[in-house]
Structure 1
Amino acid sequence: MNLTRVSPEGLLLGAGLDHLLGDPRRGHPVAGFGRAASWVERRVYKDSRARGVVFVGIVVGGALGVGVVLDRVGKGAVSRAVVTGVVTWSVVGGTSLGREGLFMASALERGDLEAARGRLSHLCARDPKGLESAELARATVESVAENTSDAAVAPLFWGAVAGVPGLVVYRAVNTLDAMVGYRNARYERFGWAAAKLDDVANWIPARVTGLLTVACSGSADAWRVLRRDGANHPSPNAGRCEAAFAGALGVRLGGANSYGGEVERRPEMGDGRAPEVRDVRRAVRLSKRVGLAAAGTAALVAWRLR
């Protein structure tokens, strides 16, 4: 018997709510978690890895406790499905990711570079200053590819194998990485544990994302580029998603990116042309298909494990 009481119906319900409604507009639980994590950070911060481990232990441990309590709320199959559905809706962000991508597409299509630069921070931490249309398009396609795993595939994967606690803990880990997992003066040591834990949590989902991208695109190039270039990225996970998208879309991703005034040169992935503005909408459509496939796959896995 599965002790986490995974509900495949609940996973489908939550994915459906995300597809129809996007993120909750008010009182988003992830925003509340972020505020609580910031409160803990202010009290335990020290420029050391050990303090970062303590920080992650407190915050992720608390999230696990909340997940276990929520998991025990539903005693019957219907109530369990409802609880799982609401939690899944709260932690899956595929529709919001698509909306951000479409905003960028619209801004770039009408030539409003200032609007696109101002919105890029919703997708990635890349410095937008001075980026022209082509670089903004590449940044968006890369971010949509990578975040398809973080926003959709990974939470559904953990929900399928670990139920409500898996959903809650994954989103906690991923949120902490977004908050402190940076290589800068403040977080290089303190954020080390959060970044490494996020790498572990996303290792399998990123590779599942790559495979689902191949399946949803029906592209032999997606499989070829995934196998050849997926490991070239400095991240152990992002490259799997970006390489598969590059092959599926027939574009070439990678190159020079600026973060906090420092330029990183990343290996190129794919054999096609540089991304263009029109590729942003193509990436969003592919991401949506991958997210829907992930929901069906997660429900099937949960049903088999039940």
Structure 2
Amino acid sequence: MAGALEGPLHRDSRPAGVAFAGLCVGAAWSVGALAARVPTAPAVAVLTGVTTWSVLGGTSLARIGAAMADALDDDDIEAARALVPSLCGRDPQALDADGIVRAALESLAENTSDATVAPLFWGGVAGVPGLLAYRTVNTLDAMVGYRNDRYRRFGWAAARLDDVANLIPARLTGLLVVLLGGDRGQAMAAWRRDAHRHPSPNAGVVEATFAGALGVTLGGRTEYPHGVEDRPLLGAGPAPTTGDLRAAVTVSRWVQTGAALMAAAVAAGLSRRSAR
């Protein structure tokens, strides 16, 4: 639906982008609020469970990360390149094996927050409307939140809204990585030392903590279809290998489990408070 709306609403201006983002996110929230009015507790539970399942991407994320490591270990770089678009927007043909590992690990870190922790957080806080609205925000950022000629102004609102929606979840993800991800001291040190240098206020936190926990260095020259960026270095170790990518998949799964438990606790606490 957002794709259908983009055509008639697109203008090379920020106000047009604000209207587009507001309409899409408002519609998602309204649908969620109406659906959540089902009259019985079992129906609410089923609706919440189905909606939560539909907006989470953590299982696919871990599966693709593991498949990419398998392909690279088998020296099948073309198979690994074919998986790159499933994780990130980089140009697969510009990446060698080391570049694919780094791209996969950075995307695995960022999407652990975006695809799992953030929707669980907003679901725990705001129920079904929060789940649908957050997924819409994140989808709009992936659609139009680019710094190219078409979207620099029109996509500005979607990109900024995504930054705001992920401020708390990204830091929860960083905390869970520190607690569950391996080397706690290095994860926290990388967070404090390196995260603020990343161009994204949220991706820097999760990528830095993953790098520290795994003992690797992320960042550097990054090629996208719209151009090349020189990203700051995160962490203080060697370049990641396929073994580190597999370790990152394990960390991601632990973080996802911790986030699910936290979201359930928050939702239960808010439900009891509302009942009183």
Q: 1:193 and 1:274 mapped to 2: Cα distance? A: 35
- Offset of residue 257 of structure 1: 0.2
Q: Which amino acid aligns with 2:264?
A: A
Instruction: From the superposition, tell whether residues 261 and 90 of structure 1 become closer, same or farther in structure 2 (CA, over 3 Å).
Output: closer
Q: What is the DSSP-based 3-state SS (H/G/I as helix, E as strand, rest coil) of the residue aligned with 1:274?
A: coil
- Offset of residue 70 of structure 1: 1.4
Match of 1:275 in 2: 240
Asked if 1:265 is matched to 2:221, the reply is no
Q: 2:10 and 2:94 mapped to 1: Cα distance? A: 34
Q: Which amino acid aligns with 1:106?
A: D
Q: 1:49 and 1:72 mapped to 2: Cα distance? A: 35
Asked if 1:221 is matched to 2:186, the reply is yes
Asked if 1:135 is matched to 2:99, the reply is yes
Superposition pairs of residues 190-201 of structure 1, within 5 angstroms: 190-201=154-165
- The answer on whether the counterparts of 2:148 and 2:226 sit within 8 Å (CA) in structure 1 is no
- Offset of residue 260 of structure 1: 1.9
Match of 1:158 in 2: 122
Same amino acid, percent of matched pairs: 58
Q: 1:231 and 1:95 mapped to 2: Cα distance? A: 29
Q: 2:206 and 2:117 mapped to 1: Cα distance? A: 11
- The answer on whether the counterparts of 1:161 and 1:301 sit within 8 Å (CA) in structure 2 is yes
Match of 2:250 in 1: 285
Q: 1:148 and 1:181 mapped to 2: Cα distance? A: 19
* Cα deviation code 1:140-197 (max 9, x no counterpart): 0000000000010000000111111000000000000000101111111110100000
Q: 1:61 and 1:40 mapped to 2: Cα distance? A: 14
Superposition pairs of residues 207-218 of structure 1, within 5 angstroms: 207-218=171-182
Q: 1:304 and 1:231 mapped to 2: Cα distance? A: 33
Q: 1:235 and 1:211 mapped to 2: Cα distance? A: 18
Superposition pairs of residues 119-130 of structure 1, within 5 angstroms: 119-130=83-94
Q: Which amino acid aligns with 1:273?
A: P
Q: Which runs of 4+ in 1 moved over 6 A?
A: none
Listed as ranges, the gaps of 5+ residues in structure 2 are 272-276
Q: 1:144 and 1:250 mapped to 2: Cα distance? A: 16
- Offset of residue 262 of structure 1: 1.8
- The answer on whether the counterparts of 2:94 and 2:223 sit within 8 Å (CA) in structure 1 is no
Moved more, 113-122 or 232-241: 113-122
1:254 to 204, 219, 226: 219
- The answer on whether the counterparts of 2:180 and 2:254 sit within 8 Å (CA) in structure 1 is yes
TM-score (norm 1): 0.86
Match of 1:27 in 2: none
Q: 1:133 and 1:143 mapped to 2: Cα distance? A: 15
Q: 1:201 and 1:131 mapped to 2: Cα distance? A: 31
Match of 2:274 in 1: none
Q: 2:94 and 2:267 mapped to 1: Cα distance? A: 46
Q: 1:128 and 1:69 mapped to 2: Cα distance? A: 42
Instruction: From the superposition, tell whether residues 160 and 263 of structure 1 become closer, same or farther in structure 2 (CA, over 3 Å).
Output: same
Match of 1:76 in 2: 40
Q: Which amino acid aligns with 2:162?
A: D
Asked if 1:167 is matched to 2:170, the reply is no
- Offset of residue 69 of structure 1: 1.1
Let me know the Cα RMSD of the aligned residues. Answer: 1.0
- Offset of residue 261 of structure 1: 5.1
- Offset of residue 76 of structure 1: 2.4
Asked if 1:48 is matched to 2:25, the reply is no
Match of 1:295 in 2: 260
- The answer on whether the counterparts of 1:133 and 1:277 sit within 8 Å (CA) in structure 2 is no
Q: Which amino acid aligns with 2:249?
A: V
Listed as ranges, the gaps of 5+ residues in structure 1 are 1-35
Which structure exhibits the higher relative contact order, with contacts defined as CA atoms closer than 8 Å and separated by 6 or more residues? 1
Match of 1:177 in 2: 141
TM-score (norm 2): 0.96
